[in-house]
A and B are shown apart, each in its own frame.
Chain A
Amino acid sequence: MVGIFGDLNTQYVISTAIVSLYVSTAAVGLSTLASLPIALAIGFSDFRGKNAVTTVINTGMGFPSVVVGLVVLLFLSNAGPFGSLGLLFTPKAMIISQFVLATPVIMSVSLSAVEGVDQRIRDAAFAAGGTSRDVGLVVVKEARYGIVTAILAGYGRAISEVGSVLVVGGNIAFADGTAFTRTLTTAVTLEARQGRYEVGIALGAVLLVLVLGVNAIGSWARRRGGGT
């Protein structure tokens, strides 16, 4: 990259973007696998305390990321219960913290989408000879727009946050400038702090393009997933 971004190291940008994509995609993938079944189970059942559970999940959407980072740090530090795993200041620790941040978002929005599917749709699937698994699949398909939105919202939360990955990842780059636990967001923070605003803006632009790309893929998936 040249011009106003003249001294921008392409390898640095690419490796930082790869770390961002890898950490956020892994975290959101795992979070989706964990959140969707729970959202379906809650959405399909009626139990005492359901409102309280839903409120707790919704509250989780507002968790401050630095606090999440701090809690994950305490768990993964040498003195913590999982210190022996040696995960602190690695991409895996960042995946864990982003998983914690993305899960309430994906679960809450998915739950809303699942609960928004009309009871008559479930009845129709059952009456047409569907098993409870078939009815569940119909609900997921009917709620697909909401579920994709939930995943995109979770992805947005994960890839754009800076606090927790900074705390548990450490914003580490190798001597040759390639990123180890440095993401686009933590790199922007570092560049801005060092007064290299043009590099920070370039990295921010890359981040925006990535988010745009992920959303474009999500929109495409929503359009194509039309079958029941």
Chain B
Amino acid sequence: MILAAENVAYSYDGEGVIEGVSLEVDPGEVLAIVGPSGTGKTTLLRVLALFDPPEEGTVLADGEDVWARSEERRLPIRRRIGMVFQDRSLFSTSAARNAAYGLFVRRSWDERLRSSLAAFLGRDGSPDGAYDALETVGLAEKADQHAGSLSAGEAQRVAFARALATEPDILLLDEFTSNLDPRNTAVLETAIDRARDRGIGVAMATHDMQQARRIADRTAVLLDGTCIECGRTERVFENPRDERARKFIAGELVY
């Protein structure tokens, strides 16, 4: 699936956060969205994740306006998109059941009831895909551990596994390694590489310019809620067309 924002605008309490932003997430590519804090990166990802409709513009899935669909018909598209947030967002249960959540909500109510009963009785009941996803982030051996007892890095890896377990077409990552040590960051970057190899399109908001340069195929620079530069990562970093983008990348733009 190709996910695209077309001229989208969004505001909070009447204050515009993003305006006229257009970009596209293609299968098998990593798109980095960089920019200073408060420039609308998270808002843009939330619009792409279909949390809320944009106030202006459209979100397109394979060229179709997603918000023209009813909520019921939008759900299958939403379920082809995974998202990982910046901070701890795990449910207070085991790592395996966290990783299995996306698979769990896709099951029939009958299966869900049986799975919940199994958990209540102390048996597992998590689908196999959850273990595969935990394996991808190197945490299969901690599957039964409670989320509260995981380190911040491990918790973020489980959150990544939860998004990956449903085999999404698109993965949206919001500053997902900003609080992690180099080792956990490396594990997740490797997982992103693998996701790209499997044809998953990845859009990641990041402050870390080196990270964008390391793993992104394309980079978009967001400034004051507008996309001022977007293109192949090498070109954006080495030969930015927009002067403000050049200054931001060079660290000369003070916010």
Contact = CB atoms under 8 A, between A and B. Distances in A.
Contacts of A142: 91-92
A129 B90 CA distance: 15
B101 interface: yes
Closest 3 CB pairs of A and B: A227-B119, A127-B83, A124-B89
Contact of B120 (A120, A123, A127, A225): A225
A129 B79 contact: yes
A228 B51 contact: no
A131 to B, nearest CB: 7
Given A225-B120, A227-B119, A228-B101, A129 B166 contact: yes
B105 A129 contact: yes
A134 to B, nearest CB: 5
Contacts of B83: 127
A125 interface: yes
B83 to A, nearest CB: 4
Contact of B91 (A121, A126, A224): A121
A80 to B, nearest CB: 44
27 contacts: A120-B88, A123-B51, A123-B85, A123-B89, A124-B89, A124-B91, A125-B105, A126-B51, A127-B51, A127-B172, A128-B102, A128-B105, A128-B162, A128-B163, A128-B166, A129-B105, A129-B106, A138-B91, A141-B93, A225-B120, A226-B93, A227-B125, A228-B91, A228-B93, A228-B98, A228-B101, A228-B104
B211 to A, nearest CB: 21
A120 B174 CA distance: 12
Nearest to B93: A228
Main secondary structure of the interface of B (DSSP, over half): mixed
B87 interface: yes
Given A128-B102, A131-B105, A120 B93 contact: no
Nearest to B83: A127
Nearest to B87: A120
A141 B92 CA distance: 9
Contacts of A224: 120, 122
A225 B97 CA distance: 13
B38 to A, nearest CB: 18
B90 A124 contact: yes
A113 B186 CA distance: 37
Interface residues of B, number: 36
Contacts of A126: 51
Interface in B1-52: 49, 51
A222 B92 CA distance: 12
Given A120-B87, A134-B105, A128 B82 contact: yes
Given A124-B91, A128-B82, A138-B91, A227 B105 contact: no
A125 B89 CA distance: 9
Interface in B88-132: 88-94, 97-98, 101-102, 104-106, 115-116, 119-120, 122, 125
Given A128-B163, A226-B119, A228-B91, A120 B79 contact: no
Contacts of B106: 129
Contacts of B79: 129
A130 interface: yes
B250 interface: no
B68 interface: no
A129 B102 contact: yes
B98 A127 contact: no
A142 B104 CA distance: 16
B174 to A, nearest CB: 10
B89 A121 contact: yes
A138 B81 CA distance: 19
B85 A120 contact: yes
B78 A129 contact: yes
A145 to B, nearest CB: 9
A120 B116 contact: no
Interface in B158-174: 159, 162-163, 166, 172
A130 B50 CA distance: 12
Nearest to A226: B93
